Structure 1
Amino acid sequence: MGPEQHAMLVSIARRHYLDGVSKVDIAKERGISRYKVGRLLQTALDEGIVRIEIQARGGIDYELSEALRVKYGLRRALAAETPDEVHVHHGIGQVASALLSEIVTRDDVLGVDCGRTLASMARQLHSLERCDVVQLTGMAGVIGQTATDITRVISEVNGGRVFPIYAPYIVPDVHTAQTLRNHPAIRSAMNYYPKITKACVAIGAWTPELSQMYPLLNSADAQRLAQRGVVAETCALTVGADGQRIDAVDERRIGVSDTALKKIPDVIALAGGRGKTRAVDAVLKSGMVNSIVTDTFLAARLLGDRPD
């Protein structure tokens, strides 16, 4: 390439990329077609005269995230970079808290599930638009990780009204469940479900260690559900490997129904760590969530169709 050609490429590239002049206007200035301008700009890129650098924020693998979003047809997917597969809750919670701060508005009603990762998200929230916060399920898990604890922490950050459910996740029988659902305080929270616009939920694998629901059932019930094909649960809604709902103990649940969950416009699942690949795959196929925040290790396994 001679100096004249090089000088023209530099000049056109400067006009377009630095001065913001359109290809059409550059074409008028030069007395050439806009298609010629486009070819010259491409030559400038090919010859290394122009280098485009994208400065992505750290903490997220954007390539994995986009591949995951496309594979499952999600509204959004974010794969948090974590030091290993054991300490994933903090990293996922950090990304999820930043996401909530970005997308929640005063017009929203936020629904919240339970779990370690959601608790980490709530602890790392520094600012959030004032909005109502509604508990999606009854209480399960250790102190600090129940849906009641998480809704309280979030409402303390944003000053919004909180609608708690002071009842267990799963109760022993149908009559108890019906009685609790009809309690005025619990009913006021559940009546808010149709108004929820955004929700954060956890995904549990069907093992005692990786599910909030599994330990609340007797061993016979838990094993019976495994035999029926249950591999995952979210909000105590059990799911099979292909994403199909398996009605397990729905009549004994205190919380949002699968129908109501599917009607929420923006449902973000938080899940990561070893042992959850099959479960996350199932819930992403179920239609109950349309976004996910996970870790890069789990994202890679989901994309590679590899087991844990």
Structure 2
Amino acid sequence: MPRSDRSPSDQRLITTVARRYYLDDESKVQIASDLGISRFKVARLLDEARATGVVRIEIAPEAGSDEARGDRLASALGLTRAVVVDLSLVGSRGEAADPRARRRELGRVAAHVLHQAIGPQDVLGLPSSRTVAAMMPELRDLPRVPVVQLSGALALDSDEVTSVDVVRDAARVSGGPAHQFYAPLVATDRASARMLRRQPSIADTFAKIPEVTVAVVGVGAWAPGESTLYALATDAEHRALSRAGAVGEISGAFFDADGAAVHAGIADRVISVGTDQLRAIPDVIGIALGPARTEVVRAAAGAGLVDSLVCDVELADALLDGAGEPTG
């Protein structure tokens, strides 16, 4: 309905809902409760506020990102988009060396990328990943989309956010259904992994993975400190993965320098999405930090395991240098 056709009371309600949601940062649930209307009516009023010009949304470049570098990187790697973040000012009070602070900043930017990428027709997939977990506090608004868990849970610290938490929190933001399960990312042995994959809750959730259209994942190199799984593998599993040529993993899906799946060592114990399933998702947003991940990011991009990339300047320059592109 055009804005001029609205009664003054209806127009005031639209304006009130829009102000409280966009300026006061109140949730749809809170607004609905206070005003005595349904959350779905709040969503419709917000849609109308945008459609009639009460609210005008402008997508600005991500703060701290280098657009020119990102464009060159996307072109060099054949990606849909690449966002390069300058982390030099992160933790200016002696916190710069803290990887948690750097992950938080990449997560902030990744949240903006996700907001731009996802629409009401999409299905969101999220795995166990520290960088993905760092994105969650920055999610303010998502369309009402289903959220699918892509991997089992891994918590190395008592306060670590797991894939179960990530999916639950994202679904809470979107208001859509959460398809999740309770299982570890790494089973004790191959037989236990096979048994777990047959559990109804896990099988039912994994059956939803072909419906996922947008996913956000962390990209880990297979090296100490570069993958949360590295320390969990036995010496024999490290040798097996080395012989198989593994360079890295995405949520427990291992692959070599050509992006081909690697099924060896700890990979046989992982409860997670596979490389073929990742490749079938239309938009996989990868988050990667540091030049040590150059080879694995190049392999993932070349094999179509990631379609978009959020990374830091040092990693971007290493990737561009390897592609023969200028880095300045």
Question: Taking structure 2 as the reference length, what is the TM-score of the superposition?
Answer: 0.71
Instruction: Name 1:94's counterpart in structure 2.
Output: 108
Instruction: Name 1:190's counterpart in structure 2.
Output: 206
Larger Rg: 1
Query: Of 141, 149, 152, which residue of structure 1 is paired with 2:155?
Result: 141
Instruction: Name 2:310's counterpart in structure 1.
Output: 293
The 8 Å contact of residues 206 and 226 in structure 1, kept in 2 or not, is answered as: no
Instruction: Name 1:46's counterpart in structure 2.
Output: none
Cα distance between partner residues in 2 of 1:56 and 1:176: 46
Aligned pairs for 1:227-306 (under 5 A) are 227-249=243-265, 250-305=267-322
The 8 Å contact of residues 111 and 199 in structure 1, kept in 2 or not, is answered as: yes
Cα distance between partner residues in 2 of 1:302 and 1:121: 23
Instruction: Name 2:138's counterpart in structure 1.
Output: 124
Corresponding letter in the other structure for 1:76: R
Query: Of 124, 127, 136, which residue of structure 2 is paired with 1:110?
Result: 124
Corresponding letter in the other structure for 1:236: G
Shift of 1:122: 0.9
Shift of 1:215: 2.2
The 8 Å contact of residues 230 and 240 in structure 1, kept in 2 or not, is answered as: yes
Deviations 1:104-126 (A, max 9, x none): 12221100122221111111111
Cα distance between partner residues in 2 of 1:130 and 1:157: 8
Deviations 1:108-163 (A, max 9, x none): 11001222211111111111112111111111233433211211221222222111
Deviations 1:215-269 (A, max 9, x none): 2221221233124321211121212223332222544321212222111111111
Cα distance between partner residues in 2 of 1:115 and 1:122: 11
Shift of 1:66: 0.6
Identity of aligned residues (%): 34
Shift of 1:299: 0.5
* SS state at 1:169 partner: coil
Query: Of 75, 81, 86, which residue of structure 2 is paired with 1:81?
Result: 86
Instruction: Name 1:12's counterpart in structure 2.
Output: none
Shift of 1:193: 0.6
The 8 Å contact of residues 133 and 160 in structure 1, kept in 2 or not, is answered as: yes
The 8 Å contact of residues 113 and 137 in structure 1, kept in 2 or not, is answered as: yes
Shift of 1:99: 1.4
Runs of 5+ unmatched residues, structure 2:
1-59, 90-95, 324-328
* SS state at 1:79 partner: strand
Corresponding letter in the other structure for 1:254: I
Deviations 1:184-218 (A, max 9, x none): 11122111011111111111111232212222221
The 8 Å contact of residues 144 and 150 in structure 1, kept in 2 or not, is answered as: no
Aligned pairs for 1:19-58 (under 5 A) are 58=63
Cα distance between partner residues in 2 of 1:165 and 1:298: 34
The 8 Å contact of residues 115 and 141 in structure 1, kept in 2 or not, is answered as: no
Instruction: Name 1:22's counterpart in structure 2.
Output: none
| Count of residue pairs the alignment pairs up | 252
* Cα gap change, 1:227 to 1:127, in 2 (>3 Å): same
* RMSD value, Cα: 2.0
* Cα gap change, 1:195 to 1:57, in 2 (>3 Å): closer
Corresponding letter in the other structure for 2:72: A
The 8 Å contact of residues 239 and 246 in structure 1, kept in 2 or not, is answered as: yes
Shift of 1:281: 2.0
The 8 Å contact of residues 240 and 282 in structure 1, kept in 2 or not, is answered as: yes
Instruction: Name 1:204's counterpart in structure 2.
Output: 220
Shift of 1:103: 2.2
Cα distance between partner residues in 1 of 2:182 and 2:300: 26
The 8 Å contact of residues 151 and 185 in structure 2, kept in 1 or not, is answered as: yes
